Chain A
Amino acid sequence: MLQGLRLQRLPSVQPGIALAMRALAIAIVVLAASIALLVAGEDPIALGAQLVSATFSSTFGMEDFGLLVIPLILTGLSVAVGQQIGIWNIGAEGQFLVGAFAATAVGLFVPGPAWLILPLIIAAGALGGVVWILVPTLARAFVGVNELITTLLLNFVAALLVYYVSTGPWRDRVGMSNSSTPRITVEMPEFWGLIHWGLPIAILMALAAAAILAFSRWGYEVRLSGSNPSAAAYAGIAVRRHIITVMLLSGLIAGVAGAFELAGTVHRLQGGISNNFGYLGIMVAVLARNSCVGVIFTGILMAFILNSGIILQTQGITTSAVLAMTGAILFLTAIGDELAHYRILRAGSTRA
């Protein structure tokens, strides 16, 4: 250790420092990417300017960007809600896919007027998400099986299920594509340009979740159970019941995200419909420090990063570069969260 200096570990982190650490993590990654681009013979500043202008100065750019924001806010919210009670829902990806799958089933096979079918599609998506997290939930609540593993593994099952139905029994026999279902007949009404009503609804859902957690008895009990389960048990709170409801709610939100993506953006079920939104939702939640309001902003940030990748592709830069960047941001944020616990003291300082 350096002479005259020593490190002190603080038990809790001040939110301001944690946010600064996140900004720093992003700045470091942007800097590193810029250097990599320079070495590769590109002009990072010009590219950056191009990214901003391509996203925000045209309707097309804004639409593409906005359509990415919706699923990212919702999957981020799904993860953040689980974290309120200490649950890591790594399975938002699978719940998203099954939500989209269930929504497709209603969209393809239930006839009726749009005003009836659309709510049914969303309800089906919600139900799909709930069903997909049900087994991990019960296993966690009653037998103590770690939800990280169960929710993660079910993602692969969901991906194969969607791939199977969209290339097999439900494939589009009329159109040219063999890899997706036919277009469903109803769609989410538009809110602004191509951006559908999913955007305001997603933001409202995040705000509502935050309000319920902060201002309801249920929210108090959930937060206490998440912070210290044995203290919650001591206070007479039914921790297990809360774990079940919170996990199901987490799955429900991811399922709704899948239904929105299907009915609002893609309109037909296909293998890659989830676009890693479930996994990116983990990042969105981590960057937001599991704040339900925070995911609105980090969802927007993540959408910008994702959209940048798509634009960069037109410049001949591979999308894997963006995946690497998001990974590096998450990695540095994790380090930053740990560092935020420390402060440097001069030797002889008696402040404790």
Chain B
Amino acid sequence: MNATQDRYIAAPGTAPLVQLKGIAKYFPGVVANQDVDLDVLPGEIHALLGENGAGKSTLMNILTGIYQPDAGEITIDGYAKEFATPLDAIAAGIGMVHQHFKLVQAFTVAENIHLGWSETPRLASARKLEARTKALAERFNLHVRADARINELSTGEQQRVEILRVLAREARILILDEPTAVLTPAEARELFKALREFTSRGNAVIFISHKLDEVLEISDRITILRGGRRIATHDTSECNPRMLARLMVGRDIVLADMRQRPPGAAPRSAEPILRLESVSALDDGGKTALHDITLDIHAGEIVGIAGVAGNGQRELSHVLTGLRRIASGRIVVDGAPIGAGDAAAFSELGIGHIPEDRLRSGLAPAMSVAINAVMREYKKPPIGSGGLYRSGAATLLAREIAKAADVAVPDFAMPVRNLSGGNQQRLVARREMRIAHKVLVAAYPSRGLDVGAINTMLRYIVELRDAGAGIVLISEDLEELLNLSDRIAVLYEGRLMGALENDKIDVEQIGLLMGGRTVRKEAA
């Protein structure tokens, strides 16, 4: 936590490099930022910590001129500023490296550095641009290969190009959004070294992250955002992981405990109904997204999967529903191993799936309500027998599902996208519940829904549990997980950290696990 390099000490009374005061930003129905104050001093690395949706990205989009604040002031170097466009922010010395790089893959490093830059010479040969790039690289001590094409570079190298691109435009404030998410540990160490050097010249870094360890390692001060508001700012030396976790996720938990079973509900089965044995799987890009996952799902229980999105949730839900082949390991359903990567076989076995993005993968938005409603049962009589598709029978089934979902559908031939998001989700949920005799995999079932629709969704899930299905509930919402789950496991970087009984768990502990700290490590 102690920097080895000399820290830049600002003269007393020096104005903060960046001063945000009372920033607010509203989107329809959402308060993205409210009353946010933030001071960034020269020479410091200031970490911005918070869950997904805490308002970090909105705040940085305001600071970089992408959004205009609905209230509040931005002061840079003591002068009040208004950024009408990102170019204004760049001119004021603010540069941002986004989590997903904005580089032209087919261009060389030199071309990317010079793209859209007023100082790029009007007539410039490739050689000249490369020479300029080399000079810049030396000046900022960031080694890049000027003549290499971006698609030949590793992600660490690409990030270095992004940083150089920002620094070349004389940025004094460098914003990094989840910079280590794509880096190997060695690359991350490189990056930290470069950041230290950058700040030692009186510049500042704003470092967005949800990883507690690295925030504690790299930053000088930490600001925690939650629900769009600033919760606290502390010197890093005063912080510890436990306290940060509490600040980050520790909202007041509404204890609407839905874990109690009504009389007559199916008990938790002794044997698991679905079992993952040392399962590993790749993401779409061919990288390992799930490492050696072992997980038992019993009938009549809800297993919550917590974690920050992008840590393997998508792949896990795919593996559990047969949408993705596994690289190694075994999937056992009701005692019998099943070949992975056959979604039809999984659904026929009684595994339902509420996908994370219903419009992209759970529904065909342009097709009729009826066609979408029967997606799981079109092969069975009365709709499908003898290779036929009986649209009359399909409409009848759709009517039944819509009735169970309490969705008023004026016309079953109209495109399903004409329904509201909540109605779509209820329809998908009811459709899946009909086939989920054994297991329901629900990925972010309440995402994007209003409170009423959320309650309905959770009620459905409990109802299915009581009917004797095993539920895997993937969610970012800790409240939801704590209220529903019998056990909670945390996904972090493709690894499943513990599957703890809900009774023996507290929010802080989950927060630590979500930030990549193991329980044992913390206890030591």
Which A residues fall within an 8 A CB radius of B? 11-12, 214-220, 223-224, 227-228, 230-237
Interface pair A231/B364, CB less than 8 Å apart: yes
Candidates B321, B342, B387, B415; contact of A12 at CB < 8 Å: B415
In the complex, which residues of chain B have a beta carbon less than 8 angstroms from the beta carbon of A220? 371, 378, 384, 389
Candidates A218, A219, A227; contact of B364 at CB < 8 Å: A227
A207 to chain B, nearest CB (A): 17
By beta carbon, the residue of chain A nearest B415 is: A12
B434 to chain A, nearest CB (A): 14
| B376 adjacent to chain A (CB < 8 Å) | yes
Per the bound structure, the CA–CA distance linking A233 and B321 in Å amounts to: 11
Interface pair B366/A227, CB less than 8 Å apart: yes
Known contacts A217-B378, A217-B384, A223-B371; A234/B353 CB under 8 A: yes
By beta carbon, the residue of chain B nearest A11 is: B417
By beta carbon, the residue of chain B nearest A238 is: B344
Per the bound structure, the CA–CA distance linking A233 and B344 in Å amounts to: 9
In the complex, which residues of chain A have a beta carbon less than 8 angstroms from the beta carbon of B353? 234
Candidates A218, A230, A231; contact of B375 at CB < 8 Å: A231
Candidates A214, A234, A236; contact of B345 at CB < 8 Å: A236
Which B residues fall within an 8 A CB radius of A? 321-323, 342-348, 353, 355, 360-367, 371, 375-376, 378-379, 384, 387-391, 415, 417-418
Per the bound structure, the CA–CA distance linking A223 and B389 in Å amounts to: 12
In the complex, which residues of chain B have a beta carbon less than 8 angstroms from the beta carbon of A230? 360-361
A322 to chain B, nearest CB (A): 34
Candidates A215, A216, A219, A233; contact of B343 at CB < 8 Å: A233
Per the bound structure, the CA–CA distance linking A228 and B359 in Å amounts to: 9
Interface pair A234/B387, CB less than 8 Å apart: no
Interchain residue pairs with CB less than 8 A apart (23): A11-B365, A11-B415, A216-B387, A216-B388, A216-B389, A217-B388, A217-B389, A223-B367, A223-B371, A224-B375, A228-B363, A228-B364, A230-B360, A231-B361, A231-B363, A232-B364, A233-B361, A234-B321, A234-B362, A236-B342, A236-B343, A236-B345, A236-B348
Which of A220, A223, A234 is the most central at the interface, judged by chain B CB atoms within 10 Å of its CB?
A: A234
B157 to chain A, nearest CB (A): 27
Per the bound structure, the CA–CA distance linking A217 and B381 in Å amounts to: 12
Interface pair A236/B417, CB less than 8 Å apart: no
Known contacts A228-B363, A228-B364; A235/B389 CB under 8 A: no
Candidates B360, B371, B384; contact of A224 at CB < 8 Å: B371
Interface pair A236/B346, CB less than 8 Å apart: yes
Per the bound structure, the CA–CA distance linking A236 and B342 in Å amounts to: 7
By beta carbon, the residue of chain A nearest B348 is: A236
Per the bound structure, the CA–CA distance linking A116 and B157 in Å amounts to: 69
Interface pair A234/B355, CB less than 8 Å apart: yes
Per the bound structure, the CA–CA distance linking A186 and B418 in Å amounts to: 55
Which of A215, A233, A236, A237 is the most central at the interface, judged by chain B CB atoms within 10 Å of its CB?
A: A236
Candidates B366, B375, B390, B418; contact of A235 at CB < 8 Å: B375
In the complex, which residues of chain A have a beta carbon less than 8 angstroms from the beta carbon of B418? 11-12
Per the bound structure, the CA–CA distance linking A228 and B345 in Å amounts to: 20
Interface pair A215/B363, CB less than 8 Å apart: no
By beta carbon, the residue of chain A nearest B363 is: A231
A337 to chain B, nearest CB (A): 14
Interface pair A234/B323, CB less than 8 Å apart: yes
By beta carbon, the residue of chain B nearest A228 is: B364
Per the bound structure, the CA–CA distance linking A242 and B364 in Å amounts to: 17
B180 to chain A, nearest CB (A): 30
Taking A223-B367, A227-B364, A234-B362 as known contacts, 11 extra A-B pairs with beta carbons closer than 8 A to each other, sorted by chain A number, are: A11-B417, A12-B418, A217-B379, A217-B389, A227-B365, A228-B360, A231-B361, A231-B364, A234-B355, A234-B375, A236-B322
In the complex, which residues of chain A have a beta carbon less than 8 angstroms from the beta carbon of B348? 236
In the complex, which residues of chain B have a beta carbon less than 8 angstroms from the beta carbon of A233? 323, 343, 361
Known contacts A11-B417, A224-B371; A215/B366 CB under 8 A: no
Which of A216, A232, A235, A237 is the most central at the interface, judged by chain B CB atoms within 10 Å of its CB?
A: A235
Interface pair A235/B387, CB less than 8 Å apart: no
By beta carbon, the residue of chain A nearest B346 is: A236
In the complex, which residues of chain A have a beta carbon less than 8 angstroms from the beta carbon of B376? 235
In the complex, which residues of chain A have a beta carbon less than 8 angstroms from the beta carbon of B363? 228, 231
In the complex, which residues of chain A have a beta carbon less than 8 angstroms from the beta carbon of B371? 220, 223-224
Which of A11, A224, A228 is the most central at the interface, judged by chain B CB atoms within 10 Å of its CB?
A: A228
By beta carbon, the residue of chain A nearest B372 is: A231
Interface pair B391/A214, CB less than 8 Å apart: yes
B232 to chain A, nearest CB (A): 40
In the complex, which residues of chain B have a beta carbon less than 8 angstroms from the beta carbon of A228? 360-361, 363-367
Per the bound structure, the CA–CA distance linking A229 and B137 in Å amounts to: 45
In the complex, which residues of chain B have a beta carbon less than 8 angstroms from the beta carbon of A227? 364-367
In the complex, which residues of chain A have a beta carbon less than 8 angstroms from the beta carbon of B322? 236
Interface pair A236/B364, CB less than 8 Å apart: no
Known contacts A220-B371, A227-B367; A215/B388 CB under 8 A: yes
Per the bound structure, the CA–CA distance linking A108 and B85 in Å amounts to: 71
Per the bound structure, the CA–CA distance linking A232 and B378 in Å amounts to: 12
Interface pair B379/A224, CB less than 8 Å apart: no
